[in-house]
Amino acid sequence: MHAIKNILTKYTAWIFRTLAPLGPWGVFAIAAVDGSLFGMPVDAVVAGYVYYHQSNFILYVLMASAGSALGSLVVYAIGYFGGEAVLRKRIAEERFNRIHASFEHHQFWALMFPAMLPPPTPFKLFVLAASVFEMRLSHFLAAIFAGRFVRFFILAILTIKFGPQFVEFAGGMLRQHALWVLLGVAFVLIVIALLWWRRSRLKPE
């Protein structure tokens, strides 16, 4: 395990050194690749850029969010041309029905919320579902951009406050306690949804 950790650390450092001369476009590129078919240590790269160029952190957040949204078009195309069969091969029938129901009722939020969450959230599964269930392309891009913006903005603030080592610490905590983290996020989202529903009901006609 220690050897694997060292390899990943060196791999991330190599990526950061390679992309550093590109400035904000380096963040865009790594996020686009991560959003497509190839998983990349995008959080660590964004944190590195933000830490060394803190005054420009909002630019890096925007570029990473845009890159992730545009890179996800690759997965969108696979689902669009492959149809339901592509998604059904990857998940059980019960989960397929749950995801389908979430997209039927709240299409934008069904994609934005997973986009906000870091690994090990199976985000590409929701991207694939969005295309299979014929989510409008403009809404698709907006949902991913919004979700990623929230994720990277929080990451940037925490990196400025605690340093880039926070990414490694948070990643380890998520891997060890993924279920509790997801349950906590789900609880918060349910509370927000209930408050929004209650507020909408109280509005005068």
Domain residues for 131? 2-177
Note whether residue 13 is domain-resident: yes
Q: What is the pLDDT along the chain (205 residues), one digit of tens a residue?
A: 444 445 445 555 556 566 666 778 888 988 998 888 787 778 888 888 888 888 999 999 999 999 999 999 999 999 888 888 888 888 888 888 888 888 888 889 889 988 988 777 788 899 999 999 889 999 999 999 999 999 999 889 888 888 866 666 555 544 454 454 555 555 655 666 666 666 666 655 5
Q: List, in sequence order, the alpha helices (H) in the chain.
A: 2-19, 24-35, 42-52, 57-71, 73-82, 84-88, 93-105, 107-116, 123-132, 137-162, 165-176, 178-202
Question: How many Cβ atoms from other residues are within 10 Å of residue 72's Cβ?
Answer: 30
Contact 146, 115 (CB under 8 A): yes
Note whether residue 198 is domain-resident: no
Note whether residue 34 is domain-resident: yes
Note whether residue 205 is domain-resident: no
Note whether residue 136 is domain-resident: yes
Report CA 20 to chain centroid distance, whole Å. Answer: 22
Number of domains present in the structure of the chain: 1
Note whether residue 104 is domain-resident: yes
The pTM score is: 0.74
Note whether residue 202 is domain-resident: no
